[in-house]
Amino acid sequence: MIVLNLRRNDDLDFVKELQELRDILKKKNITIGLVESFEGDTHSVKVICDEKCYDERVKNTLYLYISNILYNIVLEQYRKKEMFEFLMENYFFLKQDEILEVEDIIMSVLKGEATVNDDRMIYCLNKVNSIIEKIKECLEENEEINIQGFVTFRMKELRQGIEDIIEKVVEEYMVEKEYKEFVKLLKYFVDIQESRIDEINIFIQDGGGYIIKDKYGNDIFEEFIKELSECKVDTEANIEDVIISGLITNAPKSVIIHGKEKCNNKEFINTIINVFGERAYCCKGCSECKIVKTKI
């Protein structure tokens, strides 16, 4: 029986993807056939399946895979015809090289190649799945699809989801850019001043608390607070901000982080390491780690 009839009359080529799909489904014990035909400028590919083994599970699997193929066609068309213009119009503050860089990141996210490591990326993944589901619903409503017509008339409906993802990716890109500039500035302050202290030890406790000591075992956190007060900086800043400020002010020759695995704020640790470079390192376990128990 004919499951779908996919037609095209332009340079959109999806036959290779369908052949790969056939091989993938074969490994799942789902056998499909592809029948190609040409009518003038129109190229048709009929997807057929034995009626005896065609059930709801097979249908759902088949339509999901073909939806992904169509999704990638939609992405490629959007990238070629609309993405650069959209980025230039809405993110004019980005330099041209940044536009090209962010475009690569966007395509990586849209194609599901980026690592899902935070809420923003989970949001993007959900949006991608939503777009693919819309394509799948369209397939289920129409057994014959003209690919060019589908891209042309459905793009408006799918564009919003794509551009929502672009917005999140650019937002993440700008946050990362600002963070790098912030770290660069802190690193500059550390590099231009003389060290006021040889060594600072940061002990991270169970639950994420901190104890700050010099190399002699003296608790110096109160000194950090005093320095902030003298500089008329908001002393209600969170504890990580106080510690970062104290480290920058004192520019120690070495920063030793004890109990890194207990830290609830990984960005805090990364900032210290990025700012101090070779001066900062993580303790792999020492007697002091076991002795210190009091939390700030």
Mean of the per-residue pLDDT values for the chain? 85
Per-residue pLDDT of 233-267, as tens digits, reads: 444 458 898 899 999 999 999 999 998 888 888 89
- Average pLDDT rounded to a whole number, residues 22-31: 83
Strand order in the sheet with 254-258: 210-214, 199-204, 254-258, 280-282
* Lookup: tokens for 214: 């010099």
Q: What percent of the chain has pLDDT over 70?
A: 91
pLDDT value of residue 295:
43
- For residue 286, give the 3-state DSSP assignment: coil
Query: Do 211 and 295 form a contact (C-beta atoms < 8 A)?
Result: yes
pLDDT value of residue 78:
92
Output phi, psi for 43, to 5 deg. -110, 120
pLDDT range class, residue 273, cuts 50, 70, 90: very high
Rounded-to-integer distance, Cα 220 and Cα 109, Å: 45
Query: Do 40 and 79 form a contact (C-beta atoms < 8 A)?
Result: no
- Average pLDDT rounded to a whole number, residues 43-66: 83
* pLDDT over 90 at 102, yes or no: yes
Closest among 253, 276, 256 to 194, alpha carbons compared: 253
Three-state SS annotation for the chain: CEEEEEEECCCCCCHHHHHHHHHHHHHCCCCEEEEEEEECCEEEEEEEECHHHCCHHHHHHHHHHHHHHHHHHHHHHHHHHHHHHHHHHHCCCCCHHHHHHHHHHHHHHHCCCCCCCCHHHHHHHHHHHHHHHHHHHHHHHCCEEEHHHHHHHHHHHHHHHHHHHHHHHHHHHHHHHHHHHHHHHHHHHHHHCCCCCCEEEEEECCCCCEEEEECCCCECHHHHHHHHHHCCCCCCCCHHHHHHHHHHHHCCCEEEEECHHHCCCHHHHHHHHHHHHHHEEECCCCHHHHHCCCCC
pLDDT value of residue 237:
56
Please indicate whether residue 75 or residue 287 has the higher confidence score (pLDDT).
75
How many Cα atoms occupy the beta-carbon half-sphere of 137 within 13 Å?
9
* pLDDT over 80 at 230, yes or no: no
pLDDT range class, residue 44, cuts 50, 70, 90: confident
pLDDT value of residue 48:
86
* Lookup: tokens for 83: 């993405």
pLDDT value of residue 233:
46
- Average pLDDT rounded to a whole number, residues 25-43: 82
* pLDDT over 70 at 117, yes or no: no
Backbone angle region of 229, left / alpha / beta, with phi > 0 → left and psi within -120 to 50 → alpha: alpha
DSSP string, 246-268: HHHHH--SEEEEE-GGG-S-HHH
Please indicate whether residue 271 or residue 117 has the higher confidence score (pLDDT).
271
